[in-house]
């Protein structure tokens, strides 16, 4: 039963009176919300930390211990997941985009294995989730519902059969690209090759729809976003992206695409990546990259001097500080543009080096959600952003898949064949 104090606070936390509610009361409200709605984060790279640091040996990072004490702390351990109120986590099974087809498939399988073994190693804290119902059941059991997200279409080696097998092993979303274009889709951070999706890329999207696998449009180019939204029969997600209008990074989502996302019924899971959150940091990154290129060119035979002078430049030009409030600004923009029903959270913890102040690790979600209450969001709206909207999208994707199968849709047996690069537009 909710206490009378919290009931009063929930009533006050609407409109301008929200600013008058004490911070500790807002945090108590957030705990009440997260007791009923699982907080589902769209992207955490902890499995990659096991690969990078420990060659996938789980014993090297004991999640029951305080991993903030490491020389290079992780963003994630069990105590901090509990402190953050995390009820569901898409664990990324990222592998580098420059791997060859067969190597990428093998590495992805190895990362999926890491997630399965993590769940097996901590059965009192984690449980594998395959459906929205699983997420809610596991949350009620007091555990973190562990979902699997593939980061990059290179993970399937241009094979729809491999896509199906990844789904069978538990993968419930696939990001169509990572930092570079693959054979059938363009990325946000590389020169366009296809100007969106190829015909095979559209087949990938439709096969994901048939399976019930979420189509993830983080990392893809704006052209690919638009093509995928047109092609998909089910709501899509952005697992870790923010609003381009607030911070003009190519990794963020333009307003026209956000409007299409509303029409599609999908969700953008606002990220905590500082260079995607704050335009000052985006510029600082660009300036640092330009300075490094200048120094490398100036001292091609003296890399130690180039590195020393770059360190001096960085000391003279410290990175601007961004906070959870700037993350909330992205939430505000999306809410104002298309409504609260299309927003989620996708941190990219353990895949990033810097984090916003107040969101230093997985324990920080309540701070952000309490800020939304301070800005006048209702507890119901906070619950939607925390996880309710993602559950809706998962159920919609599951329903589309069930209908397609009921209507007789068969597995797509198309073999990938190379397509010529798309011609650039002529003025």
| Given the residues 348, 350, 381, 398, the one annotated as active site | 348
Look over the chain and give the mean of its residue pLDDT values, rounded to a whole number.
94
Q: What is the distance between the alpha carbons of residues 270 and 342, in angstroms, rounded to a whole number?
A: 10
Among residues 32, 41, 77, 151, the one annotated as catalytic is 151
| Residue 317 annotated in active site | no
List Cα–Cα distances, 326 to 219, 242, 271, 273, 380, in angstroms. Answer: 21, 11, 11, 11, 22
- Set out the domains of the chain in order of their start, with CATH numbers: 27-278+322-406 (3.20.20.140)
Tell me the per-residue pLDDT of 328-372, one tens digit each, with 9 for 90 and over.
999 999 999 999 999 999 999 999 999 999 999 999 999 999 999
Q: What is the mean pLDDT of residues 381-401?
A: 98
The pLDDT, as a whole number, for residue 1 is 39
Predicted pLDDT of residue 32: 98
Query: Each residue of 93-106: pLDDT tens digit?
Result: 999 999 999 999 99
Residue 410 has pLDDT above 60, yes or no: yes
As a residue count, the chain comes to: 427
* Average confidence (pLDDT) over 301-322: 90
Among this protein's residues, is 219 annotated catalytic? Answer: yes
State the Cα–Cα distance between residues 176 and 231, nearest whole angstrom. 13
The answer to whether the beta carbons of residues 181 and 163 sit under 8 Å apart is no
Contact residues for 378 (Cβ-Cβ < 8 A; gap 6+): 13, 14
The one catalytic residue in 178, 284, 330, 360 is 178
Separation between Cα atoms, residue 404 and residue 410, nearest integer Å: 9
Q: Are 162 and 144 in contact (CB under 8 A)?
A: no
Percent above pLDDT 70 for the chain: 94
Torsion sign across C-alpha atoms 253, 159, 409, 395: negative
Lowest mean pLDDT among 10-14, 192-196, 296-300: 10-14
182 pLDDT more than 60: yes
pLDDT digits (tens, 9 = 90+) for 51-68: 999 999 999 999 999 999
* Token pair belonging to 386: 């925390």
- 145 DSSP assignment: E
Q: Which residues contact 69 (CB under 8 A, 6 or more apart)?
A: none
In the structure, what pLDDT confidence band is assigned to residue 426 with cuts at 50, 70 and 90?
Answer: very low
User: Which pLDDT score is estimated for 18?
Assistant: 60
Supply the pTM of this predicted model.
Answer: 0.92
Q: Determine the average pLDDT of the residues in 259-281.
A: 97
Tokens describing residue 129? 């989730």
- Is residue 240 annotated as a catalytic residue, yes or no? yes
Q: Give the 3-state secondary structure of residue 89.
A: strand
Average pLDDT over residues 243-254: 98
* pLDDT tens for each residue of 68-84: 999 999 999 999 999 99
pLDDT digits over 208-244, tens only?
999 999 999 999 999 999 999 999 999 999 999 999 9
Terminal Cα-to-Cα distance of the chain (whole angstroms): 65
Q: What is the pLDDT of residue 19?
A: 64
CA pair distance 307, 318, nearest whole angstrom:
16
Categorize the per-residue pLDDT at 17 as very low, low, confident or very high, splitting at 50, 70 and 90. Answer: low
Q: Name the least confident of 13-17, 308-312, 343-347, 417-421.
A: 13-17
The residues near 54 (Cβ < 8 Å, ≥ 6 apart) are: 60, 61
Structure tokens at 292: 């490094």
Q: Which DSSP symbol is given to 155?
A: G
Catalytic residue among 219, 284, 333, 360: 219
* DSSP H or E segment with residue 164: helix 160-168
Q: Residue 178 catalytic?
A: yes
Structure confidence at residue 309 as a pLDDT band (50, 70, 90): confident
What is the structure's pLDDT at 46?
98
Which of 32, 41, 43, 139 is the catalytic position? Answer: 43
> What is d(CA 338, CA 334) in angstroms, rounded to the nearest whole number?
6
Residue 423 binned pLDDT confidence (cut-offs 50, 70, 90): low
From 10-19, 197-206, 274-283, the region with the lowest mean pLDDT: 10-19
Q: What's the pLDDT score for residue 6?
A: 42
Residues 128-148 have pLDDT tens digits of 999 999 999 999 999 999 999
pLDDT on residue 2: 42
């Amino acid at each position: 039963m909710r206490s009378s104090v919290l009931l009063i606070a929930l009533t006050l936390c609407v409109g301008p009176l929200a600013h008058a509610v004490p911070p500790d009361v807002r945090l108590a409200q957030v705990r009440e919300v997260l007791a009923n709605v699982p907080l589902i984060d769209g992207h955490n790279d902890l499995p990659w930390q096991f690969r990078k640091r420990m060659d996938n040996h789980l014993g090297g990072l004991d999640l029951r211990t305080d991993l903030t004490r490491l020389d290079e702390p992780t963003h994630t351990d069990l105590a901090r997941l509990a402190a953050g109120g995390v009820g569901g986590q898409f664990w990324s099974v990222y592998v580098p985009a420059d791997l060859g087809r067969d190597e990428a498939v093998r590495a992805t399988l190895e990362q999926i294995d890491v997630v399965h073994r993590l769940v097996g190693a901590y059965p009192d804290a984690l449980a594998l989730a395959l459906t929205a119902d699983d997420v809610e059941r596991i949350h009620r059991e007091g555990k973190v519902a562990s979902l699997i997200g593939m980061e990059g279409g290179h993970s399937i080696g241009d094979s729809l059969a491999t896509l199906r097998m990844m789904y069978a092993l538990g993968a419930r979303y696939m990001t169509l690209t990572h930092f570079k274009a693959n054979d059938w889709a363009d990325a946000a951070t590389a020169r366009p090759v296809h100007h969106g999706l190829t015909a095979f890329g559209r087949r990938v999207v439709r096969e994901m729809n048939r399976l019930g696998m979420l189509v993830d449009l983080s990392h893809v180019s704006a052209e690919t976003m638009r093509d995928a939204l047109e092609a998909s029969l089910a709501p899509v997600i952005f697992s870790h992206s923010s609003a381009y209008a607030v911070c003009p990074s190519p990794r963020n989502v333009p307003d026209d695409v956000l409007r299409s996302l509303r029409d599609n019924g999908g969700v953008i899971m606002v990220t905590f990546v500082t260079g995607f959150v704050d335009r000052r940091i985006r510029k600082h990154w660009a300036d640092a990259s330009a300075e490094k290129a200048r120094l490398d060119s100036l001292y091609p035979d003296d890399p130690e001097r180039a590195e020393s002078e770059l360190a001096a430049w960085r000391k003279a030009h410290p990175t601007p500080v961004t906070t959870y409030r700037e993350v909330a600004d992205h939430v505000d923009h999306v809410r104002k543009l298309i409504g609260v029903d299309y927003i989620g959270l996708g941190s990219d913890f353990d895949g990033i080096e810097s984090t916003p102040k107040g969101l230093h690790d997985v324990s920080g979600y309540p701070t952000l959600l309490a800020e939304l209450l301070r800005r006048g969001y209702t507890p119901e709206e906070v619950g939607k952003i925390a996880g309710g909207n993602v559950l809706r999208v998962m159920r919609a994707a599951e329903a589309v898949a069930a209908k397609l199968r009921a209507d007789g849709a068969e597995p797509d047996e198309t073999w990938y064949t190379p397509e010529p690069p798309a011609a650039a537009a002529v003025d």
